């Protein structure tokens, strides 16, 4: 049953990838320069990364974290209205994105996309997903959404899988991956909880040291100004957008916070309710992490709990949910599990696999139930 299910899910994945490729190719045929035929930027959000890289190379780091100046620079590249744009990643991210500014937009997009898929595949294999599971993950709806938007989800998901793959205290790839996730902390912030439970003090110490080195390097290179503006201008703008802004981005967020905001229409109330729900999830997570010693079950819990606890992630970040669901499926596709239960588990895994697409329709229809679809997987893990 385990192999049969994986082959069925692989077939669904390939069919979806073909459908995605067909529709995307139709959009690309009408593209001109940096824009689709409908006027939206090619690869969605990649214009932010390429602009940040160009500005870092051009000595304009002081403008990156001032939203109006950042968008003014982008309008020199794309002279049409493309909505609110931010570089939402902390200043040490600039240590790594600037090489993309050395090449043109389209070559940089190709390099970035390939890097994301390679990181995701490497993380899957290091976490000991087999070849079929890895193919399902790399071609999953979440991974293809990340490709479409030119976003960071595949790289961040791959780094989290590498972080979770460490089998000993101070494992270098695990430590380095966790340190790099400080650039997208909403994906990696539960790693300290896992290491505290495992008493992996070397992993914690080395990650802290590497993170401090990266942060320290930004001071002689860029000064303290970017950090001041990141905290004082970019983060408040981002927070205001999430709490009060409207638009298509709301449909792409499967978090408990956004679901509650859609239901209540009140960003402040949604924040408080999300905090209560997240605290309950973290309490359950810590309790079970202490009780369960199997590293793959612990990894599944971290992957799934991350989706439930963070208020700020999008459908293109959900490769972590697909990976967690695949690990859950391993537990129940055995000869000892009744067939009816195996079929129920299969349905839950397929729902998690398809959630990156489904959340847009569900949120748009006023049915923001994504967290309710994710929560059972945490308890199954």
Find out whether 290 and 302 touch, Cβ atoms under 8 Å.
Answer: no
- Percent of the chain's residues with pLDDT above 90: 84
Of 156, 151, 211, which is closest to residue 188 (Cα–Cα)? 156
Q: Is the pLDDT of residue 32 over 80?
A: no
- Average pLDDT value for the chain: 94
Contact 132, 7 (CB under 8 A): yes
Average pLDDT for 83-101: 94
The answer on pLDDT for 372 being more than 80 is yes
pLDDT beyond 80 at 40: no
Are 134 and 125 in contact by the 8 Å Cβ rule? The answer is yes
pTM here? 0.96
Dihedrals phi, psi of 237, to nearest 5 degrees:
-65, -40
Selection from 205, 118, 168, 154 nearest residue 319 by Cα: 154
pLDDT of residue 116: 98
Token pair 């009780």 is at which residue?
A: 291
Note the pLDDT of residue 211. Answer: 97
How does pLDDT run across 129-173, given as a tens digit for each residue?
A: 999 999 999 999 999 999 999 999 999 999 999 999 998 999 999
Helix axes 339-364, 141-149, angle to 10 degrees: 20
* Model pLDDT, residue 41: 78
What confidence score (pLDDT) does residue 332 get?
86
pLDDT above 90 (res 294): yes
Q: What is the pLDDT of residues 175-210, one digit of tens each?
A: 999 999 999 999 999 999 999 999 999 999 999 999
Work out the percent of the chain whose per-residue pLDDT is above 70.
99
CA 116 to chain centre: 11
Q: What is the DSSP letter of 103?
A: S
Task: Please name every residue paired with 32 in a beta bridge, in sequence order, or none if there are none.
Answer: 35
Which two structure tokens, joined as six digits, stand for 336?
């000892």
Can you give the pLDDT at residue 245?
87
**Banded model confidence at residue 44, pLDDT cuts 50, 70, 90:** confident
Confidence of residue 30 (pLDDT cuts 50, 70, 90): confident
CB atoms within 10 A of CB 3: 10
- Residue where the block lists tokens 């981002």: 238
Q: What is the pLDDT of residue 167?
A: 85
What distance, in Å, lies between the first and last C-alpha atoms of the chain?
19
pLDDT at 71 over 90: yes
What's the pLDDT score for residue 202?
A: 98
Quote the Cα angle for 83-355-90, to 5°.
Answer: 45
- 210-238 pLDDT tens trace: 999 999 999 999 999 999 999 999 999 99
Is the distance from CB of 187 to CB of 310 less than 8 angstroms?
Answer: yes
């Amino acid at each position: 049953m385990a192999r049969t299910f994986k082959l069925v899910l692989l077939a669904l994945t390939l069919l979806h990838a073909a459908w995605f490729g067909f529709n995307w190719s139709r959009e690309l045929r009408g593209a001109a320069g940096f824009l689709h035929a409908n006027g939206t930027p090619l690869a969605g959000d990649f214009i932010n990364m390429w602009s940040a890289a160009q500005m870092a190379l051009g000595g304009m780091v002081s403008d990156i974290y001032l939203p109006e100046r950042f968008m003014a620079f982008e309008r020199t590249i794309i002279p049409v209205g493309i909505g609110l744009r931010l570089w939402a990643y902390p200043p040490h991210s600039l240590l790594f994105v600037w090489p993309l500014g050395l090449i043109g937009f389209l070559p940089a997009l190709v390099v970035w996309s390939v890097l994301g898929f390679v990181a995701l595949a490497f993380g899957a294999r290091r976490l000991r997903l087999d070849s079929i599971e890895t193919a399902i993950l790399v071609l999953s709806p979440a991974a293809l959404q990340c490709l479409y938007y030119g976003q960071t989800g595949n790289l961040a998901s791959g780094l989290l899988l590498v972080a979770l793959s460490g089998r000993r205290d101070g494992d270098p790839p695990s430590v380095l991956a966790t340190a790099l996730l400080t650039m997208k902390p909403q994906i990696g912030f539960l790693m300290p909880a896992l290491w505290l439970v495992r008493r992996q003090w070397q992993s914690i110490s080395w990650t802290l040291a590497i993170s401090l080195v990266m942060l320290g390097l930004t001071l002689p290179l860029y000064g303290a100004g970017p950090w001041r503006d990141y905290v004082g201008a970019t983060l408040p703008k981002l927070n205001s957008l999430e709490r009060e802004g409207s638009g298509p981005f709301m449909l792409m967020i499967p978090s408990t916070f956004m679901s509650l905001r859609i239901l209540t229409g009140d960003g402040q109330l949604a924040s408080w309710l999300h905090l209560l729900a997240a605290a309950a999830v973290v309490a359950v997570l810590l309790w079970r992490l202490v009780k369960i010693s199997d590293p793959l079950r612990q990894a599944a819990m971290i992957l799934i709990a991350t989706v439930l606890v963070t208020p700020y992630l999008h459908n293109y970040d959900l490769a972590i949910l697909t990976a967690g669901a695949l690990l859950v499926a391993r537990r129940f596709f055995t000869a000892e599990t009744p067939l009816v239960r195996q079929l129920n588990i299969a349905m839950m895994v397929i729902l998690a696999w398809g959630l990156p697409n489904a959340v847009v329709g569900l949120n748009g229809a006023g049915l923001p139930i994504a967290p309710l679809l994710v929560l059972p997987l945490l308890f199954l893990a």
